[in-house]
């Protein structure tokens, strides 16, 4: 695969994830303005709704993908020693995967507590 295809794919992923992030944030703000939950039970009831849970999963997946593409491009462009570049990319990859697993755990625990 050529660098141009990789660059175009990274560009598209950044734009698509940014669009989804913006739309979901607008949805959450609209929900909070017009239907603000009064207590924890109301919050939990809103979060365990299947469409909201799916939206949250997609939101955090898009957020982590957006962060990965941006950070990866910066590191590839500005860190030239290969060992340091690979180490940084590996460390950041582990951190982002850990954050994704943490979010997944929270959403699963909210689903289990809501039943």
Two structure tokens written together for 115: 């039943």
Short-list 70, 88, 92, CA closest to 79: 88
How confident is the model at residue 66, as a pLDDT? 95
CB 33 within 8 A of CB 103: no
**pTM, to two decimals:** 0.85
Two structure tokens written together for 40: 């924890």
How confident is the model at residue 84, as a pLDDT? 96
- Tell me the pLDDT tens digit for each residue of 38-51: 898 888 888 889 99
Question: pLDDT band at 2, cuts 50/70/90?
Answer: very low
What span, in angstroms and rounded, lies between the C-alpha atoms of 6 and 12?
10
- Tell me the pLDDT tens digit for each residue of 66-114: 999 999 999 999 999 999 999 999 999 999 999 999 999 999 998 888 7
How confident is the model at residue 113, as a pLDDT? 86
- Tell me the pLDDT tens digit for each residue of 3-37: 444 688 888 999 999 999 999 999 999 999 998 88
Short-list 103, 91, 111, CA closest to 63: 103
């Amino acid at each position: 695969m050529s660098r141009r295809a990789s660059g175009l794919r990274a560009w598209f992923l950044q734009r698509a994830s940014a669009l989804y992030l913006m739309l979901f944030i607008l949805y959450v703000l609209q929900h909070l303005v017009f239907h603000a939950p009064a207590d924890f039970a109301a919050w939990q009831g809103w979060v365990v709704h299947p469409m909201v849970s799916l939206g949250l999963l997609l939101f955090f997946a898009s957020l982590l993908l957006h962060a990965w593409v941006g950070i990866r491009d910066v590191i590839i462009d500005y860190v030239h020693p290969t060992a340091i570049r690979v180490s940084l990319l590996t460390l950041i990859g582990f951190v982002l995967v850990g954050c994704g697993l943490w979010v997944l755990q929270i959403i699963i625990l909210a689903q289990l507590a809501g039943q």
